[in-house]
Amino acid sequence: MENNIKYPIGIQTFSEIISKEYVYVDKTMFIPLLESRGKFIFLSRPRRFGKSLLLSTLHSYFAGEKEYFKGLAIDSMNVEWKKRPVIHFDFNPENYLNENALEGLLHGYLKDFEKEYGIETEEMSPSRRFSNLVKNIHEKTGEQVVILIDEYDKPLLGLEDNKELFTKNQGILKGFFGVLKSMDRSIRFAMLTGVARFNKVSIFSDLNNLNDISLDDDFADICGWTQEELERNFHSGIDRMAKKYTVGYDDILEKMKLTYDGYLFAEGGHRLYNPFSVLNALSKKRLSYFWFHTGTPTFLAKRVKNMGIPLDSLNSYRCREDMLLSVGMDNPNPIPLLFQTGYLTIKEVRGNVYELQFPNKEVENGFAQYLQPLYLPQLNEYNGDFSVFDFQNELSDGEPEKFMERMKAMVKAVPYEQHNEAFYQNLVYLLFTLIGIDSRMEEHTNQGRPDIVVRAEKYIYIFEFKYNGSAEEAMAQIHDRDYPGRFAVDKRKVYLIGANFSTEQRGLEEYIIEKIK
């Protein structure tokens, strides 16, 4: 298997992954802990992060399919292997722009379960039909029912611009989940997963015994892969990619870490890799941005702009815990949903205050692509005077003066009413995020933090920007704080660039470039 590893891309059924010998990162040690935490469990994680596979694993466990767990962590744990009736809803497949899609999906699932257990039903609402189904299964089998609900919020997340349909689907889900509490004696275990934690008043008000484990230390690593899990399960795949790029194993591992690692869901957890991106990267043997292409958070980008949030502040945004777990369509603040959808993650926790950041380069670059048309429509990916491709080549080729002249011209092309310090800061952030070269904002040194350090293959660039100051001040700061000192033994050529934006002159007024080696 090590020489012919099979990557389960797009496969989220536990039994299939095991039986067909796809690589499986063992998370079964969490199952007994889940059972011990109560009857009704909720977990929020970003899309494509392993929630569906987790529920499929639970499905096989509660169905008593012990043969699939041989050699896994739970195989040596003291658990009860017993076949129980399992009802598993997956809200992923449907397009909820159709007015009747949600009710149709629910009735379809319920009809299939009724047929499986030989239960007859009258015409009734999905919630009453659900309650009738569970109680009848309990009565017929003598066993309490396990209920698994995957991506419960899918019927809501795509309707940010359709308030009427959002409200309708919200009401259906509230009624559907509300009957769970009344079926308590017939339920052995119930788990709901989703991306967003829509506030309790709107969806889960009747299910007040729901245990939300989304920020719990014990379950921080239940989805996603730790550094140790990555290296233990995918060593040969990482080695093959390193050979393709003609670099060392540790070099490719560092690139993967910068690109796909960084998620943290609780203070006591580990930094986690995005499974979807890692599987695609190893299967295709190339480092690329895979995850962000699977979603279109345009409305979140618009909310960031409408609130006037400085873009560079998203890498150090502070908020309270209760803010992270509450989402409402009437809430203009995009931060909770940016966290729950995976565009922001926990940087550190101090008391009840959470500091957030982009988890990695894939996510930061992807979100910048959605922000760019709103802030800087002049910037184009490949063509035109202000193409990202040209900016990128100029730094790769050691031509900082061409780079700065192109930036200067781009700023001049912006309508005059946008010229303020906040705009210039956002311009710098977006440009350096999108150029694709290793650009690090405010990277810590023992003397301070330069605005931007760019590491190209043959060149290093240290940028310091001033706003309504002078290029001389910017360059003086670079030297006074010895920003280039850390690169003294680096073989690459180093350029220092001090620049000043002027609101009075409406542009990039001046810059100074020094080559120090």
pLDDT digits (tens, 9 = 90+) for 339-374: 999 999 999 999 889 999 999 999 999 999 999 998
Confidence at residue 294, expressed as pLDDT on a 0 to 100 scale = 72
**2: pLDDT strictly greater than 50:** no
- Whole-angstrom Cα distance, residue 244 to residue 250? 14
More confident residue, 492 or 199: 492
In a domain, 443, yes or no: yes
**1: pLDDT strictly greater than 60:** no
Print the SS3 string covering 219-240. HCCCCCECHHHHHHHHHHHHHH
Indicate if 213 and 242 belong to the same structural domain.
no
As a dihedral over the C-alpha atoms of residue 232, residue 233, residue 236, residue 242, rounded to 10 degrees, the angle is: -80
Confidence at residue 230, expressed as pLDDT on a 0 to 100 scale = 98
Asked which of 272, 294, 316 is the last residue of a domain, the reply is 294
Residue 475 near residue 464 (C-beta atoms within 8 A)? yes
Write the DSSP symbol of residue 144: P
What is the arithmetic mean of pLDDT over 482-509? 93
In a domain, 248, yes or no: yes
User: What is the residue range of 264's domain?
Assistant: 227-294
State in Å, rounded, how far the first CA of the chain is from the last one.
49
Confidence at residue 300, expressed as pLDDT on a 0 to 100 scale = 86
Indicate if 401 and 440 belong to the same structural domain.
yes
Indicate if 191 and 244 belong to the same structural domain.
no
Write the DSSP symbol of residue 383: S
Residue bearing tokens 């993650």: 345
Confidence at residue 292, expressed as pLDDT on a 0 to 100 scale = 76
Confidence at residue 124, expressed as pLDDT on a 0 to 100 scale = 86
Q: Write out pLDDT tens, residues 312-348.
A: 899 999 998 888 877 766 677 889 889 999 999 999 9
Indicate if 249 and 140 belong to the same structural domain.
no
In a domain, 312, yes or no: no
What is the arithmetic mean of pLDDT over 377-402? 91
CA–CA distance from 389 to each of 29, 171, 341, 381, 394 (Å)? 47, 48, 29, 6, 9
Least confident of 11-25, 182-196, 412-426: 412-426
Indicate if 205 and 61 belong to the same structural domain.
yes
SS3 category, 218? helix
Confidence at residue 330, expressed as pLDDT on a 0 to 100 scale = 63
Q: Write out pLDDT tens, residues 211-238.
A: 999 999 999 999 999 999 999 999 999 9
Confidence at residue 326, expressed as pLDDT on a 0 to 100 scale = 73
* pLDDT range class, residue 445, cuts 50, 70, 90: low
Residue 123 belongs to domain with CATH number: 3.40.50
Indicate if 212 and 268 belong to the same structural domain.
no
Asked which of 294, 314, 334 is the last residue of a domain, the reply is 294
CA-based torsion, 259, 265, 271, 273: positive or negative: negative
Beta strand 452-455 with 459-467 is antiparallel
More confident residue, 272 or 156: 272
In a domain, 339, yes or no: no
In a domain, 153, yes or no: yes
Residue 415 belongs to domain with CATH number: 3.40.1350
Indicate if 33 and 163 belong to the same structural domain.
yes
In a domain, 55, yes or no: yes
Indicate if 406 and 513 belong to the same structural domain.
yes
- pTM score over 0.95: no
**5: pLDDT strictly greater than 90:** no
Indicate if 237 and 213 belong to the same structural domain.
no
Domain tally for the chain? 3
Indicate if 257 and 187 belong to the same structural domain.
no
Asked which of 194, 217, 240 is the last residue of a domain, the reply is 217
Confidence at residue 32, expressed as pLDDT on a 0 to 100 scale = 97
In a domain, 180, yes or no: yes
In a domain, 32, yes or no: yes
**158: pLDDT strictly greater than 70:** yes
Indicate if 232 and 207 belong to the same structural domain.
no
Residue 20 near residue 6 (C-beta atoms within 8 A)? yes
Indicate if 262 and 284 belong to the same structural domain.
yes
Q: Comparing C-alpha atoms, which of 421, 420, 409 is closest to residue 378? A: 409
